Amino acid sequence: MESVSNNYEEKNGIPHLTNEKLLIKGGRVVNEDQSLYADVYIEDGIIKQVGENLVVPGGVKVIEADGRMVIPGGIDVNTCLMKPFLGIKPVDDFLQGTKAALAGGTTMIIDHVTPQPGDSLMEVFEHWQEAADKKACCDYSLHVDIPEWNETVKHELELLVEEKGINSFQVYMAYKDLYQMSDSQLYKAFSFLKHLGAVVLVHAENGDLIAQEQRKILGMGITGPEGHPLSRPEELEAEAAFRAITLSNRVNCPVYITKVMSKSAADTITQARRKGSLVFGEPISASLAADGSQYWSKNWAKAAAYVTSPPLSPDPTTPDHLHTLLACGDLQVVGSAHCAYSTSQKAIGKDDFTLIPEGTNGVEERMSIVWDKSVAMGKMDENQFVAVTSTNAAKIFNLYPRKGRIAVGSDADIVIWDPDSVKTISARLQQSASEYNIFEGLECCGGPALVLSQGRVVYEDGNLQAHPGTGRFIPRKPFPDFAYQRVKFRNQGKQGVTRGMYDGPVHDVACTPKYITPSPSARTSPTSNQPPPIRNLHQSNFSLSGAQADDNVPRRSGHRIVAPPGGRSNITSLG
């Protein structure tokens, strides 16, 4: 059994919240790389020993796992528990949301801090942290969304990375005139975030085209929720994903596509990965288990419950395709994008689909859905299940091996998973406060039998014993190896060709240049954060080699192009 030497708890000086000593006996420990039978001994919220025949102090509470799977608690990388929309907040706050998470076997969430343009990122972040510290029942961390791009934002990003332990930031390619950034801004943001060692999250949809389509659809008199997917066809998602990947290739930084909702977007990511791009894709509970046909439901409230962006694809084969890609590793992480609004909140958009608050549930159902549709279907093994629900997220966001692994020294966020339990998802039984559950009626095989968060039993046999305020903020360091190791190797310079000065004739240029590319000014513009140039041979099929073999060989027969004597001039007789 391997051992992890560093104890995070001590290192980070985080007070432990429990003194419970626990022994999980007779379970099969499943990590992303292997499964083995072992007992797990937990003390002070930390895994102290893993192995057989452990020597443990007396008076230890023993949990009999009876050969069931013991897996690292899930990490839900995408929740929006406080995302404001037109002055309203989702019905599931940190309390409700984390309770739902625990009930589903997820022991850590990473929530999106969503400042509005003009807000101070730092203030909004602190507001989020304060709310979460009071209410969260499980450990949490935060992504910060970047609603605009300017010097203040840059300064705040630096502070957030250096002082607050944030290493992931989301940018938007949609929401025109609100959050959307232009390609130039994205390029600058990517460059800057790379320099900070952060992971760039992208909401990939082409906002310009969406705005046009929305106008068109509304003009036709389509105001119901079906207008939502009609105005956001999946092509626009694929286009934006493609563009985001192109940008990340140019800048040589890792990019993480949040909410992969369609086959075409997923395929775009897959193809880019084949070419060596550093891209991660995150399908969510909704795209893995539901499709967009319900947007055409006659029941407005039901149709509106499915509204999220990018929308669920009306193609019913989408969930299956996404599971396949998840199983083979082309998509890496499963989130939930849990953002629950009540029907009366959704009804803000009753006469105009563009005003319907966007968000679906999924934090509670996430792990069961992946188990049921991937593992129980034979697409994925239990180790890959652990990878996509927990370990990969921990690696990408630099939480590994503190989270996402059952090993000595890791946090005691552990789930005993029952692969045989069958549960029918229903809004009646859910933890979330919303009236609708988009997976209503779905029978899911597999669920948590017991959940440990920070070494304490918080869920057992259907009973939740969560305590608000026990969740800790988990800071994350920049430059996660999983994303940045390759970047470092790809940072290699290009050089110009050394030539003599051209001293031949130069055509006079009219004094008011008309046809110019915007370089003269660009030349003096601040470029402090320009990354060094990259040459990723892996994906560009760019394979030139500087000087050409024929440079000194005159190509035309009988025409004089010779190496200039003494290199004084490169232009020789042209005639």
Partner 1 sequence: MSYQGKKNIPKITSDRLLIKGGRIVNDDQSFHADIYMEDGLIKQIGDNLIVPGGVKVIEAQGKMVIPGGIDIHTHFQMPYRGTTTVDDFAQGSKAALAGGTTMVVDHVIPDPGNSLLEAYDQWRQWADEKACCDYSLHVDITHWSDSVQQELECLIKEKGVNSFQVYMAYKDYYQMTNSELYEVFTFLAERGGIAQVHAENGEIIAEEQARMLQMGITGPEGHVLSRPEELEAEAVFRAITIASQTNCPLYVTRVMSKSAADIISQARKKGNVVFGEPITASLGTDGTHYWSKNWAKAASFVTSPPLSPDPTTPDYLNTLLSSGDLSVTGSAHCTFSVAQKAIGKDDFTQIPEGVNGVEERMALIWDKAVTSGKMDENMFVAVTSTNAAKILNLYPRKGRIAVGSDADLVIWDTDSIRTITAKTHNSAAEYNIFEGMELRGAPLVVICQGKIVLEDGNLHATSGVGRFIPCSAFPDFAYKRVKARKQLAVLKAVPRGMYDGPVSEYSMSRGGTPSASARTSPTKQPVRNLHQSGFSLAGPPAPDDIPIRPAGRRIVVPPGGQQERGRTWSCMGHINSGDVIHDPFQPPLKLDNSNIYGITTAVLVVDALICTVRTPTRRHHLPSEQPLMWKKCCLSVAHEAEEGLCLLDDLANAADRIL
Under rule CB under 8 A, which residues in 144-203 are in contact with partner 1?
175-178, 182-184, 187-188
In 275-341, the DSSP E strands lie at: 279-283
CB of 408 to partner 1, least distance (A): 45
Contacts of 405 (CB under 8 A, 6+ apart): 31, 32, 72, 391, 394
Q: Least distance from C-beta 132 to partner 1, angstroms?
A: 22
Q: Closest CB to partner 1 among 45 and 314?
A: 314
Q: Which of 15, 57, 298, 463 binds partner 1 (CB under 8 A)?
A: 298
Site for partner 1 in 415-454 (CB under 8 A): 427-428, 435-437, 440
Which of 138, 230, 257, 322 contacts partner 1 by CB under 8 A? 230
Tell me the C-alpha distance between 432 and 95, whole Å.
10
Q: Is 310 an interacting residue with respect to partner 1 (CB under 8 A)? A: no
Q: Which stretch binds partner 1 (CB under 8 A): 35-43, 63-71, 447-455, 520-528?
A: 520-528
Structure tokens at 559: 């025409």
Told to check if 568 binds partner 1 by CB under 8 A, we report: no
Give the C-alpha separation, 253 to 84, whole Å: 30
Residue 211 CB neighbour total at 10 angstroms: 17
Smallest gap from residue 335 Cβ to partner 1 (A): 22
Burial (CB count <10 Å: 0-12, 13-18, 19+), residue 503: exposed
Exposed, middle or buried: residue 459 (CB in 10 Å: 0-12, 13-18, 19+)?
A: buried
Shortest distance, position 429 Cβ to partner 1, whole Å = 10
Closest CA to 94 of 287, 83, 250, 311: 83
Do the beta carbons of residue 69 and residue 420 sit within 8 Å?
A: no
Q: Footprint of partner 1 on residues 482-501 (CB under 8 A)?
A: 493-497, 499-501
Q: In the complex with partner 1, which residue's Cβ is closer, 176 or 467?
A: 176
Phi-psi region of 386 (alpha: psi -120 to 50; beta: other; left: phi over 0): alpha
Q: Does 242 bind partner 1 (CB under 8 A)?
A: yes
- Residue 99 contacts residue 431 (beta carbons within 8 Å): yes
In whole angstroms, how far apart are CA 496 and each of 463, 493, 525? 67, 10, 21
Instruction: Give me the residue label for tokens 């899911």.
Output: 444
Q: Is residue 307 close enough to count as binding partner 1 by CB under 8 A? A: no
Locate all alpha helices (DSSP H) within 47-105, ordered by sequence: 94-103
Cβ distance to partner 1 smaller for residue 1 or 571 = 571
Q: What are phi and psi of 356, to 5 degrees?
A: -70, 125
| CB nearer to partner 1: pick between 427 and 464 | 427
Q: Closest CB to partner 1 among 462 and 533?
A: 533
- Binding residues for partner 1 restricted to 5-64, rule: CB under 8 A: none
Residue 208 engages partner 1 in binding (rule: CB under 8 A): yes
| Interface with partner 1, residue 565, by CB under 8 A | no
Q: What is the DSSP letter of 85?
A: B
Nearer to partner 1 by Cβ, of 257 and 452: the residue is: 257
For residue 213, give the amino acid letter. Answer: E
**563 lies in the binding site for partner 1 (CB under 8 A):** yes
- The reply to whether 296 sits near partner 1 by the rule CB under 8 A is yes
**Of 347-366, which residues contact partner 1 (CB under 8 A)?**
347-348, 350, 352, 354-355
Q: Which is nearer to partner 1, 5 or 519 (CB)?
A: 519
In this chain, which of 13, 59, 542, 568 binds partner 1, going by CB under 8 A? 542
